[in-house]
Amino acid sequence: MDNALPCIRNYIAGELATPRARAALLDNVNPASGQVYSQLVDSTDEDLQAAVAAAQSALPGWRAMDIAARARHLEKVADLIERDLDRFAAAECEDNGKPLALARAVDIPRAVDNFRFFARAITQFASESHAMGERAINYTLRAPLGIVGCISPWNLPLYLFTWKIAPALAAGNCVIAKPSEVTPKTAALLAETCIEAGLPAGVLNILHGRGSGIGNAIVTHPDIKAISFTGGTATGARIAAQAAPQFKKLSLELGGKNPTLVFADCDWDKTLDGVLRSAFANQGQICLCGSRIYVERSIYADFKAALLQRISQLRIGDPLTDVDQGALVSAAHMHKVLGAIETARAEGGEILCGGQQRQVDGRCNGGFFVEPTLIEGLPLDSQTNQQEIFGPVATIQPFEGEEQALQLANGTGYGLAASVWSENLSRSHRIAGRLDFGIVWVNCWLQRDLRTPFGGMKNSGVGREGGWEALRFFTEPKNVCIDFG
Ligand code: NAD
């Protein structure tokens, strides 16, 4: 153990747990500098047992608590995250490499919104009743599941962590949550916040460590009744297989290879802004990023030139400064993205811009920066157009007419999100109905209303989160039928 580095600890039974004597520690790297700046506990089964025991003893009190009181606890957590916005944003930037301004404007406010939204939603959550004339009445009870597991990725660390934790807690469950081992810091700050907010001990437990270790242990623990997972498709498949023998309830939010359809009748400037953002926001590391850009042939050459011009203006560099793009999350991920660009070259793709690691001087000398990259000339069945790259890399290609646009858009194994850019209302509705994606944006991208169902079709996942969908997932319905005939 390197005693000079701060150590991120687990949050169990309302306290930050002192790591066991011979606890294994993982290094936590700042992707902008390439330097190790803290360590985290790689949790074991023993830690999980302690967390499950804490959750078990907290459960009766939490599930029986008056809904308004439970909601007030969540509101308090939201208020404190909001108060500490700067601290949380700085931690997210340091851990993930994303621009500080993005963490301040999006990641942390969204985490606040998640707690606030579900604190309020639970007070409005009602269940159905079905009258059978003068004979009988049915009503549905929706009870919390008990102890649930929430496992999240590194790209929007606190935002996606709280997206799961908040509805699980609101619905009356106790939670064992695991953030990505690559970005544990804001989860550690959340633990401190929960302590200050007076969240009852054991209601939320946060365990750090590797997915193959503690993540797998959470998935297979018999007392954990459901798993809400966001991450890669291959990991989701593994989790589904491991959870199946216990018939656990699963919500899987997985990868995407999202198409962007640009029609000749689009609003030119709005579309260029939207397409640029959707391809490269957060260094292209958002499951919803539009990484396949299809443009109607009549405007293809002009649109491509205008897009390249905008890409050339993107500022890449130290995420603490005023930049559009920071570092990728890790050296391993950077090499994976650079490898995918090499594959595109080998497949015959023309690299229109970018295509390389970007050297940034000063404190970011050892950082993991990749130039925004646009690739042309690859068929739909190329690996580049079929596999998620999850970096600042997009392909561009012309299409002719709605049918071809749909065939290209729907032609991968994924089905998370699509965006359509057209001022023709009839066309937009027609196409939205035929796109095989869980989310379709028309003339916008990443416009989110937390009440809407969120999730993907095909290899992009199973189930939906958000709004009532999340509260239904985290509760067990029971029908009661009373005969009074
Ligand atoms: P990942 O699948 O490698 O890891 C996600 C989380 O799962 C991490 O906490 C990890 O430790 C854990 N994990 C890994 N193996 C596990 C196992 N066997 N059992 C239990 N837990 C395990 O994904 P990542 O690299 O962190 O994130 C990037 C991926 O996430 C991309 O594919 C992206 O598309 C996807 N993603 C999807 C959404 C969505 O809402 N659909 C949102 C964000 C990211």
H/E stretch holding 168 reads: helix 157-170
The values of phi and psi at residue 350, to 5°, are -100, 125
CB atoms within 10 A of CB 133: 7
Burial environment of residue 339 by CB neighbours within 10 A (0 to 12, 13 to 18, 19 or more): exposed
H/E stretch holding 398 reads: strand 393-399
**pLDDT at position 485 over 90:** no
242-249: long-range contacts at Cβ-Cβ below 8 A with a sequence spacing of 24 or more?
A: 242/216, 243/219, 246/220, 246/222, 248/219, 248/224, 249/145, 249/225, 249/473
**pLDDT band of 22, cuts 50, 70, 90:** confident
Give the model confidence (pLDDT) of 412-458 as tens digits.
Answer: 999 999 999 999 999 999 999 999 999 999 999 999 999 999 999 99
| Helix axes 157-170 and 185-197, enclosed angle (nearest 10) | 40
Instruction: For 184-236, list the strands marked E by DSSP.
Output: 204-206, 224-230
Catalytic residue among 94, 181, 253, 371: 253
Residue with tokens 């939906």: 464
Instruction: List, chain by chain if needed, residues with CB within 6 Å of any ligand 1 atom.
Output: 151-155, 160, 178, 180-181, 210-212, 215-216, 219, 230-232, 235, 238-239, 253-256, 287, 388, 390, 416, 456, 461
Contacts of 29 by beta carbon, 8 Å cutoff, 6+ apart: 35, 36, 37, 330, 331
**pLDDT at position 1 over 90:** no
Cα 70–Cα 222–Cα 142 angle in degrees, nearest 5: 40
Q: By C-alpha distance, which of 471, 469, 443 is closest to 456?
A: 469
Give the model confidence (pLDDT) of 120-131 as tens digits.
Answer: 999 999 999 999
Rg (CA), the chain: 23
Running DSSP on this structure, what letter comes out for residue 299?
Answer: H
Contacts of 437 by beta carbon, 8 Å cutoff, 6+ apart: 258, 409, 415, 416, 417, 418, 456, 457, 460
pLDDT at 20: 84
Give the model confidence (pLDDT) of 138-158 as tens digits.
Answer: 999 999 999 999 999 999 999
| Tokens read off for 186 | 């804001």
Cα 125–Cα 131–Cα 135 angle in degrees, nearest 5: 150
Is 371 a residue of the active site? no
Instruction: For 235-384, list the strands marked E by DSSP.
Output: 249-253, 258-262, 290-296, 350-353, 373-376
The values of phi and psi at residue 447, to 5°, are -80, 115
**Would you say the C-alpha torsion 277, 414, 213, 223 has a positive or negative sign?**
positive
Choice from 98, 151, 452 to test ligand 1 binding pocket (greatest atom count within 8 A of CB): 151
Cα 152 to averaged position of ligand 1 atoms, centre (Å):
6
Cα 212 to averaged position of ligand 1 atoms, centre (Å):
11
**pLDDT at position 4 over 80:** no
**pLDDT at position 21 over 90:** no
Helix boundaries (H) for 65-106 = 67-83, 85-96, 100-102
Is 287 a residue of the active site? yes
Mean pLDDT value across residues 346-364? 97
Q: Atom 32 in ligand 1: which residue has the minimum CA distance?
A: 232
CA distance 483 to 485: 6
> Residues 229, 231, 232, 233: what is their CA dihedral angle, to the nearest 10 degrees?
30
pLDDT at 304: 98
**pLDDT at position 261 over 50:** yes
Q: By C-alpha distance, which of 236, 166, 214 is closest to 473?
A: 166
Give the model confidence (pLDDT) of 287-330 as tens digits.
Answer: 999 999 999 999 999 999 999 999 999 999 999 999 999 999 99
Mean pLDDT value across residues 24-42? 97
CA distance 344 to 325: 22
DSSP per residue, 4-28: TS-EE--EETTEEPPPPTT--EEEE
Cα 20 to averaged position of ligand 1 atoms, centre (Å):
27
Choice from 164, 230, 246 to test ligand 1 binding pocket (greatest atom count within 8 A of CB): 230
CA distance 6 to 103: 22
Contacts of 79 by beta carbon, 8 Å cutoff, 6+ apart: none
Average pLDDT, the chain: 97
Running DSSP on this structure, what letter comes out for residue 259?
Answer: E
Mean pLDDT value across residues 398-416? 98
CA distance 92 to 261: 32
In terms of phi and psi (left: phi > 0; alpha: psi -120 to 50; beta: otherwise), the region of 470 is: alpha
Mean pLDDT value across residues 110-115? 98
CA distance 315 to 361: 14
CB atoms within 10 A of CB 67: 15
The values of phi and psi at residue 3, to 5°, are -70, -15
